[in-house]
Amino acid sequence: MNTAADTLDLLRGWRAAGWLRALDLAFAEFLHGLDAQAPPSLLLAAALLAQLEGRGHSALPLQGLAQEAPPLLGWPAEAQAPLQAALATMPADAAAAQRAWGGTALLSTAPAVAQGPDAGSPLVLQTGRLYLRRYWRYEADIAAQLRQRVQAEAGSGHAPDEARALLAALFDLPEAAAAEPDWQAVACALALRARLTLITGGPGTGKTYTAARLLVLLQALHGGAQPLRVALAAPTGKAAARLRQSMVAALQGLVARAAASEASGAPAASSPPPAPPALQALPLAAWTAALPPARTLHALLGTRPGTRRFVHDAAQPLDVDLLFVDEASMVHLEMMAALLQALPAGARLVLLGDRDQLASVEAGAVMGELCAGAGPQAYDAATAAWVQAHSGQRLPPPVVADAGHSGGLAQQTVVLQRSRRFAGPIGQLATAVNRGEGAEALALLRAQTAQPGGGALALVPAADSAAIARLAVQGRAAAEAGVDTAGYAAALQALAQRPAETEAFEPWVRGLLTTFDRCRVLCALRSGPFGVAGLNAAIEAALVQQGVLKKGGEWYEGRPVMVTRNEPALGIFNGDIGLVLAPPGAANAANPQAPLRAWFLDGETLRSVAISRLADVETAYAMTVHKSQGSEFAHVLLVLPPEDNPVLTRELVYTGITRARSAFTLVAPEPARLVTAAARLTRRLSGLAEAVRGA
């Protein structure tokens, strides 16, 4: 493979075999068109880079590529020899790349590129990684912004004593000498120190509980004539709505506590513990009432139809002092870069999320990268001193003497580990998978499956889509009280109880949308008998057969639909789920001509859209684990295919399990897939963690 023509022929062969996308080949051809002298190995690298970008990676590291690339590409056995031969022609490190590729204008080499105008070469080489310019730009911008925010000492105006008194009032703090500090209070103390705080933890570890208290702390310390301008956001509408609900619930808890203490000196046994005077003096109810609606990140930044740009950017920053972003693990590189650009330098950003969850489908595992290296052992002496002064909490040893510049982000990150909601079998299963203990996870599932009458967990080796559909429709038995193992038949029962009165219509729709979340089938794959499309068809058929649904064509009453594209004009966004129903007053089954609409719950608001306006939707009995992020369901049925597949990863299974509130059923004809998946950690090629550390 010596010439560019040979290389392009090779890439065409890979395209014909289905290993590369048309886009990957077109990119290499485009580069060759720009510079006919471009080194063949650069064309090859560019096609692989494009292919990997489509799989969520943002950079191609040259060192170790021959070992690293094949498992990430996951090409079939017959591709391995030609792939290895091609990889052997690539420069093996930054210096070799500089020698081999330095002569072409297709490639810029940082740091020169960082200083130059942004309209340069399509490729960038930095710290031994090859980037598409766009992704290099995102990483460089994010790293610069985050470093600035971490270094901006924001807390110098706060008296440590005041912060300590407020935190003692907001949390039931352990004794100063306790072995384990209250990590939630530690997070709040750290948030006083810089313009960025990361709070990561599994479901129910109190991220929102902490965020609500942080809001109170910052408002109380702010002390200005006007309260801080607060914004709440998340990547999806559903996650945004959940964030606000949880924040309001946590704030109302504080309001109730303060009110109860004020009303009576001696609280009844059932009332919350009395609030300290520091809390009673605060206008908690006013701050709660002033909490703005939570928005999707797209809505917060303001989409500009037809462009990648947003209304809010560095030139027109957001009007906000304090921004909470939930489900930050779903935020991809491009969105994080846009968000940081649009955030005024003086504003505080608090990122909440679970670093162990699946990253976004798009390039970048931002939360995972930013939390890399964080944890109780990563704090340095200056951080420990700050935390102790502002919260009275003592960080457990070892506290490193000085994490220096490279440890900046870890100093602003708190890992919450104690789950308040997930102490039972679902929590144990999630923890086992998260630790990579697949065999233990399987044993837990088997033990619960063998329990007489069934438990919160079950393993069902259903071998075909019809069997899975029957299970999804009927649910499964569970002897334990309070465990909800419902299937769709129960979740959609209320469909048959359509009220005649118009006033009763809206409550009925709200009830339907809520009960629809009792059950969800989550898939690892999109296609095939164990994938989303096949299972949606099978479940639909089973529901019709059982008389739960009356299906007439593609659109029918009771069809659940998921939006697959942001439609700001309609107020619906990628990932939103609605139910198709005839509007009030219109006859339903008796009048098949009734104009159907899809009904969506947007926080507290019920929204409906005519089905004629819904171009990008799919049926949503079964959905991918990716799309389920930010949502919770009472009973989750996670379907793993019998054959191994690179998408079966620890993060995927962990994310699927942690969507379940009450019961979890693993549907796997080949239970060993759970063990293989738990052992496979997702790897995203990126230079972000290194760039943030300032390497």
Ligand X SMILES: Nc1ncnc2c1ncn2[C@@H]1O[C@H](COP(=O)(O)OP(=O)(O)OP(=O)(O)O)[C@@H](O)[C@H]1O
Residues 634 and 662: beta-carbon distance below 8 Å: yes
* Per-residue tokens: 91: 């420069």
In the complex, what is the shortest distance from the CB of residue 620 to ligand X, in angstroms, rounded to a whole number?
21
Binding mask 236-265 for ligand X (x = CB under 6 A): ----------x-------------------
Binding pattern to ligand X, positions 204-233, x when CB under 6 A? Answer: xxxxxx------------------------
The footprint of ligand X on residues 416-435 (CB under 6 A) is 420-421
**Residue placing its CB nearer to ligand X in the complex, 187 or 472:** 187
Q: Quick one: 203 or 575, whose CB is closer to ligand X?
A: 203
Nearer to ligand X, 405 or 420 (CB): 420
Residue 312 touching ligand X (CB under 6 A): no
Measured distance CA(549)–CA(124) in Å, rounded: 55
Least gap, CB of 521 to ligand X (angstroms) = 20
Q: How far is CA 363 from the centre of its chain?
A: 13
Q: Which of 201, 392, 407, 529 touches ligand X (CB under 6 A)?
A: 201
Instruction: State in angstroms the smallest separation of the CB of 262 from ligand X.
Output: 21
Structure tokens at 203: 């479901």
State the Cα–Cα distance between residues 551 and 544, nearest whole angstrom. 7
The interface region with ligand X, picked from 17-25, 32-40, 198-206, 311-319 by CB under 6 A, is 198-206
Q: Residue 617 Cβ, how far from ligand X at the closest point, in Å?
A: 26
**Beta strand pairing status for 348-353 and 322-325?**
parallel
Q: Give the neighbor-by-neighbor strand order of the sheet with 60-61.
A: 60-61, 129-132, 123-126, 107-109
**According to CB under 6 A, which one of 40, 203, 558, 575 is a site residue for ligand X?**
203
CB under 6 A: which stretch of 203-211, 314-322, 524-532, 633-641 binds ligand X? 203-211
205 is in an annotated binding site: yes
Phi, psi dihedral angles at 519 (to 5 degrees) = -145, 140
> For ligand X, which is the closer residue by CB, 257 or 680?
257
Distance CA 15, CA 13 (A): 5
φ, ψ for residue 427, nearest 5 deg: -65, -40
453 is in an annotated binding site: no
Per rule CB under 6 A, is residue 298 in the interface with ligand X?
no
Residue 203 marked as a ligand binder: yes
Q: Does the protein bind ligand X through residue 368 (CB under 6 A)?
A: no
Min. distance of Cβ 438 from ligand X in angstroms? 24
Shortest Cβ 212–ligand X spacing (Å): 8
Residue 207 annotated as lining a ligand binding site: yes
Instruction: Calculate the CA dihedral of residues 79, 93, 49, 366 and round it to 10 degrees.
Output: 120
Q: Return the number of the residue (143 or 250) whose C-beta is nearest ligand X.
A: 250
The reply to whether 202 sits in an annotated binding site is yes
Q: 113 vs 61, 104, 139, 293, CA distance in Å?
A: 18, 14, 14, 41
Region from 16-24, 126-134, 202-210, 683-691 binding ligand X, contact rule CB under 6 A: 202-210
Q: Which stretch binds ligand X (CB under 6 A): 69-77, 201-209, 214-222, 366-374?
A: 201-209
534 has binding-site annotation? no
Does position 272 interact with ligand X (CB under 6 A)? The reply is: no
Contact call for residue 168 and ligand X (CB under 6 A): no
Residue pair 71/26 in contact by the 8 Å Cβ criterion: no
Which residue stretch of 152-160, 199-207, 425-433, 674-682 sits at the interface with ligand X (rule: CB under 6 A)? 199-207
Q: For the chain, first and last CA: distance in Å?
A: 35
630 is an interface residue for ligand X by CB under 6 A: no
Residue 215: closest CA among 174, 235, 243? 243
Q: Which stretch binds ligand X (CB under 6 A): 115-123, 197-205, 288-296, 518-526?
A: 197-205
Asked if 273 interacts with ligand X (CB under 6 A), we say no
Q: Where are the alpha helices (DSSP H) in 223-275?
A: 237-263
Q: Which residues contact 79 (CB under 8 A, 6 or more apart)?
A: 14, 17, 19, 73
Rg, C-alpha atoms of the chain = 27
Least distance CB 187 / ligand X (angstroms): 11
Give, to the nearest 10 degrees, the angle between helix 381-391 and helix 160-170.
70
User: Distance between CA atoms of 153 and 506, rounded to whole angstroms?
Assistant: 50
Question: Is residue 56 within 8 Å of residue 360, measured between CB atoms?
Answer: yes
The count of other CB atoms within 10 Å of the CB of residue 204 is: 18
Q: Which is nearer to ligand X, 297 or 582 (CB)?
A: 297
Is 551 annotated as contributing to ligand binding?
A: no
Residues 6 or more apart whose CB falls under 8 angstroms from that of 173 comprise 167, 182, 185, 391, 392, 393
Backbone φ, ψ for residue 655 (5° rounding) = -65, -45
Minimum separation from the CB atom of position 305 to ligand X (A): 32
Contact 510, 606 (CB under 8 A): yes
Return the number of the residue (208 or 434) whose C-beta is nearest ligand X.
208
* Residue 3 known to bind ligand: no
How many chain residues touch ligand X (CB under 6 A)?
Answer: 12
Could you tell me which residues are annotated as the binding site?
A: 201-208
Binding footprint of ligand X on the chain (CB under 6 A): 184, 201, 203-209, 246, 420-421
Could you tell me which residues are annotated as the binding site for ATP?
A: 201-208
